[in-house]
Structure 1
Amino acid sequence: MKKINSILLIDDDMATNFVSKMLIKKAEITDHIETVLNGQQAIEYLTNTGIYHKEDGIFPKPMLILLDINMPVMDGWEFIEAYQKLDEKQKGEVIIIMLTSSLNPDDKERATHFPAVSGFRNKILTKHALDSIILEYFPSYLE
């Protein structure tokens, strides 16, 4: 089975990150999972700046980003706005799935207005939800 190059988890809840990471590891769909606690850290990770500064000029370009909406410092909406302004060489071909515990239907509607957002799922990530994401966005990785 082909593997996704890397997955970026953006969520301020460490327990949620732990569960998501364990599910992803068990699914064996990637060898690299990066977790950050807010949108600002995610932008720094994607652009090799701040605590993620690297001199090599190679950007991580994860193929899948699982993004929480409600976070301190920079929330999911602010992350999407900042992400869309990044240079194309920093973005790569990524699927961004918003994961949220919000029951507000306006959030799901709002997500449809951002071209960078591929999908919207309720959190916490489950095996079924992860399988559904892989089937929908990465079907060639199931062969």
Structure 2
Amino acid sequence: MKRYEGLEAILLVDDDLPTNFIHNKVIQKVVADAAVKSITNVQEALDFITYSGIYENTSEIPRPGVIFLDINMPGLNGWDFMNAYDQLDKRFKARLIIIMLSTSPDPEDKKQALMDKGVVTFLNKPLRPEMVTAVLDNYFKEIL
């Protein structure tokens, strides 16, 4: 397991509970000392990163350095998240890495995700340990 400078937490945004469970376990195999939070809808995820809604007055809870964001969710989806995210104050976006996830075979999803300036990469689900390691090694400095 690795430790990364400045990575206190990782956020999973996916409506599928089994997927969140599996991704949580994969991340825990790779990363030491980072909290993993799973949220099943876009509005709650936005509230979490902006300390609003049910997350008002929760500044003691570590906020993510990385978000693994599913594209296809009922109601608001990953694209809706990114549209709202683009409108957020910069203080909520500082050092936040967003990775779009999907099981979709549609190449247009990947193309659209990579065109969004807030998305650093697009990955196909399910996450595997080497995928998580590659992303974190690319954007965070490992603590030896």
TM-score with structure 2 setting the length? 0.88
| 1:32 matched residue in structure 2 | 35
Q: Offset at 1:125? A: 0.5
**Structure 1 position 99 matched with structure 2 position 101:** yes
Cα deviation code 1:38-95 (max 9, x no counterpart): 2111101111122222275x79541110000001221000000101110111122111
8 Å CA contact retained: 1:6, 1:63: yes
8 Å CA contact retained: 1:61, 1:92: no
Equivalent residues in 2 for 1:55-134, closer than 5 Å: 61-134=63-136
| 1:47 matched residue in structure 2 | 50
Q: Secondary structure at the match of 1:34?
A: strand
TM-score with structure 1 setting the length? 0.89
The sequence identity of aligned pairs, in percent, is 37
Quote the RMSD (CA, aligned, Å): 1.9
| 1:12 matched residue in structure 2 | 15
- Which structure carries more relative contact order (alpha carbon 8 Å, separation 6+)? 2
Cα distance in 2 for partners of 1:82, 1:30 equals 29
Cα distance in 1 for partners of 2:134, 2:58 equals 37
Q: Offset at 1:137? A: 2.2
8 Å CA contact retained: 1:24, 1:30: no
Q: Offset at 1:121? A: 0.3
8 Å CA contact retained: 1:62, 1:92: no
What are the ranges of 5 or more consecutive residues in structure 1 without an aligned counterpart?
none
What are the ranges of 5 or more consecutive residues in structure 2 without an aligned counterpart?
none
Amino acid at match of 2:77: D
Cα distance in 2 for partners of 1:100, 1:55 equals 30
Tell me which stretches of 4 or more aligned residues in structure 1 moved more than 4 Å.
Answer: 58-61
Cα deviation code 1:92-120 (max 9, x no counterpart): 21110001101100001111221000000
Cα distance in 2 for partners of 1:24, 1:2 equals 12
8 Å CA contact retained: 1:5, 1:30: yes
Alignment coverage as a number of residue pairs: 141
Amino acid at match of 1:47: T
